Structure 1
Amino acid sequence: MARVPVLRLLGVAVAVMVLYSLLLLMRPDISASDIAAATVPAEQPPPPPVKLPPLPPIRDQDKELQQGNAQIESQELLPIASPGSERVKATFVTLARNKELYALIESMRSVEDRFNHKYNYDWVFLNDEPFTQEFKDLTSAIVSGKTKYGLIPKEHWSYPEWIDQDKAAETRKKMKADGIIYGDLESYRHMCRFESGFFWRNPLLDEYDWYWRVEPETKVHCDLDYDVFKWMKDNNKVYGFTISIHEFDKTIPTLWKHTKDFIRAHPEHLAHNNLMDFISNDGGDTYNLCHFWSNFEVANLNFWRSQAYREYFEYLDRAGGFFYERWGDAPVHSIAAALFLPRDKIHYFEDVGYNHGVYTQCPLNNEFRYKHKCHCNPEKDFTFDGYSCTGRYYDVMKMPKPKEAKE
């Protein structure tokens, strides 16, 4: 009787072996371990939980965007400065209209890519009309520092009480007939007067000492691997430019006469070792029309806030030439800088690579352009062109010209 279970066990074992052999013949890819796993499931430990990175905190601006009612008046996307670095009180300044948004953000992208993404300076926008939400959102998205938006007071963008508006209208009509660029534009005159005497008075600029002016349809062509504002401060500079050019004489027929009258009344404002010989070929008797192109300026705001400049602007403003002629802010700024500053306070940025319209400043040295990844064409450089005044600047400053400069 005891043999029966043993025989049964042997029979079962033989049956299993036969079944295993048949499986191997039918599916040679199945192994013994596979069969064991299929017949006797092993207990597997549970997989470890997936560790996700922590979510970034939601900023107030992001909450507003999620709610669909963004009111972005200030945005800071990156650290302002590396630990221990000195911070200069500086900002970019742009006067722009809402309709110029897409031309402007191309200019901004150029400045951010070439310079500001490393330094994260603020950006102040000014307009004589309220900025649209689209304007604020897009410009804030591009700027690596804080953005601020200001509405120009009406008194800074309108006729002062002493201006005869009928006379001003006659001037615009005549200039249009004479084919003078912007000669018939009323808004252009308000802009020139504002840039000459009021932009630096805006409360949004009160906390800053330095500014870099940026306009739509401008480009920076070269990498700037140093802090431009800090360099200006450390080297005791006050005003910096990239392009200088001759003004249209028909737009400023009496500007120099009024300037000379002002200097006679206020000789104390004339700086020693000034740059008079840059703007006059005859010791100040006449104006040679040379001026720094003000669509690019890196300058100290305290110069415009100074008594000398404020009195000069107020004198010109009373003379009415912004409306009875077509005085531009560029010659006004340039004449003031040339007369009220020592010449060594004015700096030519030959390393920027700058373009606005048909005029380009491009470093001529090949090695420099390669090193700083400039994408301008040196053959289009305007610096030593006959209509440019920068060659004269080199001469009066006794600076050696680049060996590549065209004669």
Structure 2
Amino acid sequence: MSARRYLLLVLVAVISLHYTLSVFFYDYGRVSSLSNLAQRLGLEQTIANLSQVTTANPSHTPYSNLTEFGARANATFVFLCRNNDLGGVVSSIRQMEDRFNRHYKYPWVLLNEEPFTDDFKQRVSVLTDAPISFGQIPREHWYQPDWVDEDKARNGRLKMMAQGIIYAGSVPYRNMCRFNSGFFFQHELLRPYRYYWRVEPDVKFFCDVHYDPFKFMEQNNKVYGFTITLVEWEATIPTLWATVKEFLNENPQFVSPHNSMDFLSDNGGDTYNLCHYWSNFEIADMDFWRGEAYQKFFAFLESKGGFYYERWGDAPVHSIAASLFARRDQVHFFRDIGYRHDPFQHCPQGDDWFRGRCACDSRDNFDYAPNSCIRRHEALYV
């Protein structure tokens, strides 16, 4: 056998082995490249000598809008995190990939107020075959604006600290709430997308998701989806509802005739009952946040300084807007998606628990705890 014929047979064997391993380990992460495989088999020079021979590389296939289950929606995951959140980020992404996205390969957008480190990006990128982008938040979208009266803001923080309120003294937490309320959907990496699924470090996704929630939102004209409802601490938002009523008096045209005011108030809007959707889990329509009603609403809230003088959170802000500016049938309870963000969790019940092969205890479910508002949401549809 000639040396050239021998080398060609070796190359064919190496390529065949490579693609066999690629198929075999498809669901368990990326396999080594051809060059790494050749190195392990001691064939580096053989491959180098025949470098003019080329083969298709699946990793270079252009990103398509098609999956094995059909067309994707125009959607992405959004993950606000820091470099020191790496362990929790890896855990959350791995679960989401295993439970849902390994079939659909929706892209990921990770955002940070500082640049992500190379180590962070490398550790995260190996977790998914989907496109993944790392972005930095513009300074003006994150830090406390210069026009905020810092003495007044400091006094507000001290007052909350004396009341034992979580994150009472934290300015970065307030930055995050303001960013999630009014700016994340404006980031350049998110502008091409319409729908998003918000993910956070160290959350749990307990169940297999056997359908595409993004397509569900799109096909059913939903604008906001949630899993957990909660009662807000009144001390964090003492003037928020008065500000909301002031905005509504000036802009009644934005209120939907089929709104969910009864979820927010027990007396037709006179007072706020503090119910909100817990926004660390959201599947929602960014075009809703980009629309005229929400843009004017956020600008009005921003002008009052309550994100810093008090501790207005994105959860009540998003919940109030979705409940008032959207129709009630455009807000959806994803009861079949198992989710935990300490200390609260939603665990699906009955058939949903079995179909999802859920890892949570169905008895450990916050839905009907005293400070859950899910009954109010369900009463909207009775």
Does 2:298 match 1:298?
A: no
RMSD: 2.5
| Structure 1 counterpart SS, 2:119 | helix
Q: Which amino acid aligns with 2:96?
A: V
Match of 2:249 in 1: 264
Q: Which amino acid aligns with 2:331?
A: I
Deviations 1:233-290 (A, max 9, x none): 0111111000010000000000000000000001111111100000101000000000
Deviations 1:365-401 (A, max 9, x none): 1x43222210111111011111101121111222xxx
- Paired with 2:69 and 2:154, the residues of 1 have a C-alpha distance of 56
Contact 1:262 1:312 in 2 (8 A): yes
One of 265, 279, 297 as aligned partner of 1:312: 297
Does 2:343 match 1:330?
A: no
CA change 1:104–1:281 in 2 (3 A) is same
- Paired with 1:76 and 1:179, the residues of 2 have a C-alpha distance of 54
Q: Which amino acid aligns with 2:13?
A: L
Match of 2:211 in 1: 226
- Paired with 2:363 and 2:370, the residues of 1 have a C-alpha distance of 14
Deviations 1:87-106 (A, max 9, x none): 31100001001101101111
- Paired with 1:373 and 1:87, the residues of 2 have a C-alpha distance of 24
Deviations 1:295-343 (A, max 9, x none): 0000011001001001000100010100000000000000000000010
- Paired with 1:78 and 1:264, the residues of 2 have a C-alpha distance of 47
Structure 2 length-normalised TM: 0.84
- Paired with 2:273 and 2:281, the residues of 1 have a C-alpha distance of 21
Percent identical across equivalent pairs? 47
Contact 1:77 1:144 in 2 (8 A): no
| Structure 1 counterpart SS, 2:135 | strand
Contact 2:262 2:376 in 1 (8 A): no
Match of 1:27 in 2: none
- Paired with 2:87 and 2:376, the residues of 1 have a C-alpha distance of 36
Contact 2:69 2:104 in 1 (8 A): no
One of 220, 233, 236 as aligned partner of 1:235: 220
| Residue pairs, 1:2-401, within 5 angstroms | 52-54=13-15, 81-82=66-67, 85-365=70-350, 367-398=351-382
CA-CA distance at 1:76 after TM superposition: 8.6
Question: Where do 5+ consecutive residues of structure 2 fail to align?
Answer: 1-5, 20-29, 37-58
Report how many aligned residue pairs link the two structures: 340
Q: Does 139-148 or 270-279 show the bigger shift?
A: 139-148
- Paired with 2:103 and 2:174, the residues of 1 have a C-alpha distance of 36
- Paired with 2:95 and 2:294, the residues of 1 have a C-alpha distance of 32
| Structure 2 counterpart SS, 1:327 | coil
- Paired with 1:211 and 1:76, the residues of 2 have a C-alpha distance of 24
Contact 2:294 2:321 in 1 (8 A): yes
Q: Which amino acid aligns with 2:93?
A: M
Q: Which amino acid aligns with 1:189?
A: R
Q: Does 165-174 or 252-261 show the bigger shift?
A: 165-174
- Paired with 2:256 and 2:193, the residues of 1 have a C-alpha distance of 25
- Paired with 1:159 and 1:214, the residues of 2 have a C-alpha distance of 24
CA change 1:200–1:190 in 2 (3 A) is same
- Paired with 1:247 and 1:301, the residues of 2 have a C-alpha distance of 24
Match of 2:54 in 1: none
